Amino acid sequence: MSSKEAYFSKPWLKFYPEGVPEEVEIPNISVPALFDRIAAKYGRRNALIFYGNKITYEKLKELADRFATGLSRLGVRKGDTVSLYLLNCPQYVIAYFAALKLGAKITPISPVYTSQEIRHQLQDSDAKTVICEDILYDNVEKAGVPLENIILTSISDYLPPIKRIFGKRALARAYEGLAAPSQAEMKQAGLHSFQEMIKSNPPQPPQVSIDPATDIAALPYTGGTTGLPKAAILTHRNMVALQAQILAFWPLFEEGKETGIAFLPFFHIYGQVVVMLSGLSMGATLVLFTTPDLDEILSAMERYQASGFYGVPTLFEYLKEYEKTDRVNWKRLKLIACGADTLHDSTVREWERRTGSKILEGYGMTETTAVSHATPYHRPKAGSFGVPIPGVTAAIVDVIGTDFLPQGEVGELVLSGPNIMQGYWKRSEETRESIIEMEGMKWLRTGDLVKMDEEGYFHFFDRKRDLIKYKGYSVFARHVEEVLYSHPQVKAAGVVGIPDPSVGQFIKAYVVLQSEARGKISEEDLMEFCRKNLAHYKIPKIIEFRGELPKTDVGKVSRRELREEQEG
């Protein structure tokens, strides 16, 4: 079998769960039309539960329609960019579908962004309308970007009365130094009230024609490997396709019968598409959390009998030792999924020992509308993030060319499928580098170093940019981190290559120790541990202890920031 045939024969198909198809039929429908269809079918079912406040599908559609009418009256038109600078809350969902109903495109902004980062995204995305948490307005004002509409909302607007005061206090603590503008200040600055727009507009938005294949639904920004973040162009078809692909791969979920816990941030593609959109596209009830309060999340898991749980590696790393994790009967859940970063082997082992359940890894990027691979629920494989979901073709190619590599060799992962982005917004050069044509198909170069085994399962090694070259040897930063994480006193680790003309790059490890080990474990102790568990060329030259490590929005250790510290 040729290298090309090793991938085009799709060996992973024989390990699909029973009834999962190779391809899926993608409805020719827009995202809001898909939501409206579900809302009509499950109108009386709860769509959202927000700290006890329940909103049915029928009510959620009405609120989205009212807000869409209000946006239209403010001048929002098809093709405009609407920015959501919000925490997880009902307003996020309402505004999301309202803007899409008008043919506008969404660009979500992280609530932890600085005014400088906000300025870049607003300017780059051509946003003219911002829907903003009132307590975060100060950051928008400091960004200094001319905007046509700024709409403010309070997290307490949809909280039950007894929880409103506590909700405001919690946010005040989390966003210390920021305060919501008064009614007088809002009027003086020409700001609009989200709730007033809901109250004063009928649920009769204008009918807008949307072409799912070409009209843009979202401009989510990637973290940016170098330089400033850039937006992936996702059409309505990209997002609807991903819903069809996910539901096809997990037939154990039943439409109109599931409950999910929605604490992953909606501004991130994982929370937005895998949790929010997937849940609402199959008539599920989403229990919303503004902040990831573990005690409340664990209580809600049992109270509402959640059928699925989506997390990130740092969360599972914490939960495997958390005293209250046993409150949940994890074996009851249909799916426990992990994404957004690599799950360490030690976490998997300890989780299974503690809960008797398995975490199923997945893989995806902003550029793949969140998902391209998932683990078959009946056949997980240690060390693998799974197989391509229906409709996706995956292959491994040479990192500096387009030659297909033999099965089992590490190279760059390339992907083709209906969920692959159209390109990068205003970045023609980066688009040409990332979106290529091979064998008459459009492929995404992911920049990830991966291999496919003989069964068609895929295994992650590292980001192409995180590969360390030491004296001609290739060292995967992740491999060194795995060894460090296996030390019982290591809480977190980040490994980077430091330029050195004599060896190319030497290896530096940043380590956070467990609190009880600080001052007792030395750099040399860890170095000796590495000597016993790593080839000589993989041993860090320097180990630096830290109290904490820089993290990305979803809790990954940010190697980029660690590298930039060295360069600075």
Q: Helix, strand, or coil here: 512?
A: strand
Q: Which domains does the chain have, with CATH numbers?
A: 3-26+236-253+307-462 (3.40.50.12780), 55-209 (3.40.50.980), 471-567 (3.30.300.30)
Whole-angstrom Cα distance, residue 328 to residue 405?
A: 44
Residues of the chain with pLDDT under 50: 224-226
pLDDT at 171: 61
Query: What is the torsion angle, in degrees rounded to the nearest 10, for the CA atoms of residue 306, residue 308, residue 313 and residue 318?
Result: 20
Whole-angstrom Cα distance, residue 175 to residue 167?
A: 12
Beta strand segments in 100-251, E: 105-108, 127-133, 149-153, 192-193, 216-218, 234-235
pLDDT at 79: 98
Question: What percent of the chain clears pLDDT 70, i.e. is strictly above it?
Answer: 96
Query: Contact, 300 vs 306, CB < 8 A?
Result: yes
Query: Contact, 413 vs 448, CB < 8 A?
Result: yes
The enclosing H or E element of 159 equals none
Whole-angstrom Cα distance, residue 104 to residue 320?
A: 42
Termini Cα distance of the chain = 49
pLDDT at 226: 45
Whole-angstrom Cα distance, residue 417 to residue 419?
A: 5
Query: What is the torsion angle, in degrees rounded to the nearest 10, for the CA atoms of residue 422, residue 396, residue 3 and residue 476?
Result: 170
Residue 181: count other Cβ atoms within 10 Å of its Cβ. 17
Measured CA distances, 23 to 16, 248, 249, 389 (Å): 12, 9, 10, 9
**Beta pairing class for 435-438 and 411-416:** unpaired
pLDDT at 188: 83
Owner of token pair 């993608």: 26
**Per-residue tokens: 342:** 């690599």
Q: Helix, strand, or coil here: 8?
A: helix
Query: Contact, 283 vs 45, CB < 8 A?
Result: yes
Smallest Cα–Cα separation from 71: which of 129, 117, 120? 129
pLDDT at 223: 63
pLDDT single digits (tens) 367-399? 999 999 999 999 999 899 999 999 999 999 999
pLDDT at 69: 98
pLDDT single digits (tens) 156-190? 899 888 777 666 665 655 566 667 888 888 888 88
pLDDT at 544: 94
pLDDT at 225: 41
pLDDT at 175: 63
Smallest Cα–Cα separation from 543: which of 556, 515, 562, 564? 562
pTM (2 d.p.): 0.88
